[in-house]
Amino acid sequence: MLFIFILVLIAAVLIALHVRIVAQSQAFVIERLGAYLTTWDVGLNVLIPFLDRISKKVSLKEQVIDFPPQPVITKDNVTMQIDSVVYFQITDPKLYTYGVERPLNAIENLTATTLRNIIGEMELDMTLTSRDTINTKMRAILDDATDPWGIKVNRVELKNIIPPAEIQDAMEKQMKAERERRESILRAEGQKKSSILIAEGEKESTILRAEAKKEAAIREAEGEAEAILSVQRANAEAIKLIKEAGADKAVLALKGMEAFAKVADGQATKIIIPSELQSVVTLGEIFHGTKE
């Protein structure tokens, strides 16, 4: 009885030791007698004692590797230090387990080699301004190379690009000179715009003054013309009233004489009398002589 109890206890312990629960985002690679058997996914699984074993526990989450700076040489023979970050994910646990020894070291070496090849085809200035291009090329190359290892490279980022100290000094001087040049251009453009605005203001002021003088002259001429028209209308109205009153030619001639008298008014030394008024003058003299 005791022997049976011991056997049951041993069996229970063995079963407990060989029962495995696979968590979310994990996978277990199982071998039987040293050969690949299967890959366990999420859930409860049991190993057969003495036959099966867990070869590798694999995380299916996206992982990040930050590689230390790597020395690279550009096409124009400038040595720089570049460190990169690789985001990858295991898609096939079996290939990841049996595809390559030490996969992370393999990815690091492959990244360094690929980076040197890409940078070696580019000059310094292009390297500093083409991060997106470099990232895209590296991701495509690494993703294709790691596919047989069950790894998918999602993204590659160049973290830092560190040129030599003398190159950095030259770049800083160049940037300073460029900023000063832009400042000089902006200052000159500002002065130019200011001069243009002043000239345009003077031009508009001159035009406005000329237009004001022109408007004043037109108004003055219109006023004089209106005054002349008013006088002419008044004279015409007076003549019309005289005619309506039945005045004869002699009366009209006398009115003309009065007009000439007003014109002379002591200012003129000689007055030319029209022929039609001479008879009136003669009659006037006779009339005044008879009366005396």
Domain final position from 208, 228, 245 = 245
159 plus 196 within the same structural domain: no
* Cα(81)–Cα(25) distance, integer angstroms: 36
* Structural domain containing residue 292: 247-292
140 plus 75 within the same structural domain: yes
Task: Work out the end-to-end distance of the chain between its first and last CA atoms, rounded to an integer number of angstroms.
Answer: 192
* Cα(23)–Cα(45) distance, integer angstroms: 11
In this predicted structure, what is the pLDDT of residue 62?
A: 92
Residue 161, strand partner residues: 82
User: pLDDT (tens digit, 9 = 90+) per residue, 69-90?
Assistant: 888 888 888 888 888 899 999 9
Task: Point out the residues of the chain with pLDDT beneath 70.
Answer: 1, 168, 171, 238-239, 242-292
Tally of domains in the chain: 4
Instruction: Tell if the pTM clears 0.95, that is, is over it.
Output: no
Give CA separation, 179 vs 129, 184, 188, 246, in Å: 18, 9, 14, 99
Closest CA to 64 of 143, 165, 201, 157: 157
Q: What's at 60, amino acid-wise?
A: L
The pair phi, psi for residue 149, each rounded to 5°, is -95, 5
H helix runs in 19-161, sequence order: 93-98, 103-119, 124-129, 131-146
